[in-house]
């Protein structure tokens, strides 16, 4: 391309601003998958861009597996997994990570608990050694348990000091009446205070098994070699029957529910939720697009209407993420001073009604597809990004869902968007909460 061509190309393209179809020329390299005889699922993805390996282990356990009395145990257990094992003294996991120039951490959600290590590729096997050992041989020392309980109570208090944290806790506990998604991942304060070491030990024994886990390795490894290293360490770990307590079905919601929290604050905050589809539902693609149509960038509907035209709020966003069982689609906003919360609510429901009444234009739909495509690509940038994406999808459904995701997105039609909005966004199915001063 010479400069003149460049200039013309740039001028033309910039003037022609309609959303074009973006050909997605990028398909992720297929990931290698194997299941060991003990049930451990292994995903390996070679990526030799940098001499780095990220390895993550995912347990299919989280707040979803909890019940009143032991809420918060999954997350608390995640903390305890750094407190020593029969092979690694307390503190050693962090020290090994440090002296090998690595990084580690962990996180817990409703559906999973995940642990990660990133190391240079010449020393990444430390990660396998540690994960293989602590899957069954974690130490549970009473004194450590009591100390860590205080740390977690402080973590919970940070949440209570945040208006958004409070609102989320309260809205989620109202939006669900039977399903354990009503519990905060960090737990209820009264449960945390009472939780004992035996309860945690039982929980660990029940869920920390190879047949309830997925090991994801992404980075500068050779597939066959990585697989044999994994076999050597994990193969001998005994599987066990994983409890599948019946998780109560959440009854259909037929009336709007409301939450009002009074808390000293300078801004009124609103959170509105609707039940979202489970990851196995074909509706997740239309819902993901609706999320973009409502709240991505500045052209999106909620920003245009609430921030620009009516100047009712200074911030608005919609959020959806995949979950094993139907969870929540969230809309959040921060209200401008003096604005009547009823008016914001009214406008929000008008916009949701418009989605149910009118077909979205081709331009708007294509824009949303393009935005999702670009974000999808960005999810393959680092070894960590990839390990997280593969891990989540394999744990809650299948990694193939991730690989086929964009193809599904490209096929969603305006009529499907409309039907999906009609199905998920009736007012009576909403839970609406405000935090006010």
Q: Is 232 helix (H, G, I), strand (E, B) or coil?
A: helix
CB nearer to other proteins: give 101 or 248.
101
CB nearer to other proteins: give 32 or 380.
380
CB nearer to other proteins: give 255 or 298.
298
Chain centroid offset of residue 241 CA: 27
- CA-based nearest residue to 93, from 115, 72, 62: 115
Q: Is 421 helix (H, G, I), strand (E, B) or coil?
A: helix
CB nearer to other proteins: give 181 or 320.
320
295 vs 189, 250, 283, 331, CA distance in Å? 34, 28, 18, 9
How near is the Cβ of 197 to other proteins at its closest, in Å?
15
CB nearer to other proteins: give 120 or 240.
120
CA-angle at 245, arms to 239 and 248, nearest 5° = 150
Length of the chain: 437
How near is the Cβ of 330 to other proteins at its closest, in Å?
17
CB nearer to other proteins: give 229 or 370.
370
* Cβ count near 117 (within 10 Å): 24
Distance CA 189, CA 186 (A): 9
How near is the Cβ of 252 to other proteins at its closest, in Å?
35
How do beta strands 113-120 and 41-46 pair?
unpaired
- And the tokens for 408? 């599904």
Contact between residue 71 and residue 184 where contact means Cβ atoms under 8 Å apart: yes
- And the tokens for 287? 């819902």
Distance CA 172, CA 184 (A): 8
CB nearer to other proteins: give 153 or 278.
153
How near is the Cβ of 230 to other proteins at its closest, in Å?
22
72 vs 62, 284, 302, 345, CA distance in Å? 9, 28, 34, 32
> In the block, which residue shows the tokens 């660990």?
204
**117 CB-near residues (< 8 Å, 6+ apart):** 54, 55, 56, 97, 102, 103, 104, 124, 126, 127, 130, 131
Query: What would you measure as the largest C-alpha separation in the chain, in angstroms?
Result: 74
CB nearer to other proteins: give 105 or 400.
105
CB nearer to other proteins: give 222 or 381.
381
How near is the Cβ of 1 to other proteins at its closest, in Å?
6
How do beta strands 52-59 and 213-219 pair?
antiparallel
CB nearer to other proteins: give 17 or 241.
17
How near is the Cβ of 256 to other proteins at its closest, in Å?
26
How near is the Cβ of 117 to other proteins at its closest, in Å?
11
How near is the Cβ of 221 to other proteins at its closest, in Å?
15
How near is the Cβ of 233 to other proteins at its closest, in Å?
22
How near is the Cβ of 16 to other proteins at its closest, in Å?
9
């Amino acid at each position: 391309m010479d400069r003149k061509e460049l200039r013309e190309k740039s001028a033309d393209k910039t003037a022609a601003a309609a959303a074009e179809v973006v050909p997605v020329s990028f398909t992720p390299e297929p990931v290698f998958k194997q299941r060991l005889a003990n049930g451990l699922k292994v995903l390996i993805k070679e990526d030799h861009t940098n001499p780095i390996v990220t390895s993550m282990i995912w347990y299919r356990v989280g707040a979803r597996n909890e019940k009143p009395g032991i809420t918060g145990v999954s997350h608390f257990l995640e903390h305890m997994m750094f407190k020593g094992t029969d092979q690694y003294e307390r503190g050693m996991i962090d020290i090994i990570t440090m002296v090998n120039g690595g990084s580690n951490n962990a996180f817990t959600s409703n559906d999973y608990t995940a642990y990660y290590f990133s190391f240079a590729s010449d020393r990444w096997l430390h990660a396998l050694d540690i994960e293989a050992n602590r899957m069954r041989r974690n130490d549970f020392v009473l004194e450590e348990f009591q100390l860590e309980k205080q740390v977690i109570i402080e973590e919970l208090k940070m949440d209570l000091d945040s208006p958004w944290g409070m609102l989320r806790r309260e809205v989620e506990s109202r939006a669900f009446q039977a399903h354990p998604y009503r519990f905060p991942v960090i737990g209820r304060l009264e449960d945390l205070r009472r939780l004992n070491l035996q309860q945690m030990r039982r929980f660990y024994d029940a869920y920390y098994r190879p047949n309830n886990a997925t090991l994801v390795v992404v980075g500068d490894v050779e597939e066959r070699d990585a697989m044999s290293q994994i076999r050597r360490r994990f193969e001998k770990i005994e599987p066990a029957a994983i409890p599948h307590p019946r998780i109560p079905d959440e009854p259909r919601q037929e009336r709007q529910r409301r939450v009002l929290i009074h808390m000293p604050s300078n801004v009124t905050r609103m959170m509105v939720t609707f039940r979202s589809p489970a990851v196995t539902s074909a509706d997740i693609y239309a819902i993901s697009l609706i999320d973009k149509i409502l709240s991505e960038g500045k052209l999106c509907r909620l920003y245009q209407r609430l921030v620009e035209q009516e100047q009712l709020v200074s911030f608005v966003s919609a959020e959806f993420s995949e979950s094993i069982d139907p969870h929540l689609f969230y809309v959040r906003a921060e209200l401008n001073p003096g604005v009547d919360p009823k008016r914001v609510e009214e406008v929000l429901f008008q916009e949701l009604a418009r989605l149910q009444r009118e077909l979205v234009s081709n331009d708007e739909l294509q824009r949303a597809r393009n935005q999702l495509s670009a974000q999808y690509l960005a999810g393959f940038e680092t070894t960590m990004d990839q390990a997280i994406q593969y891990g989540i999808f394999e744990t809650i459904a299948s990694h193939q869902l991730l690989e086929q995701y964009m193809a599904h997105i490209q096929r969603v039609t305006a009529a499907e968007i409309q039907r999906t909005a009609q199905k998920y966004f009736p007012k009576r199915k909403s839970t609406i909460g405000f935090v006010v001063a």
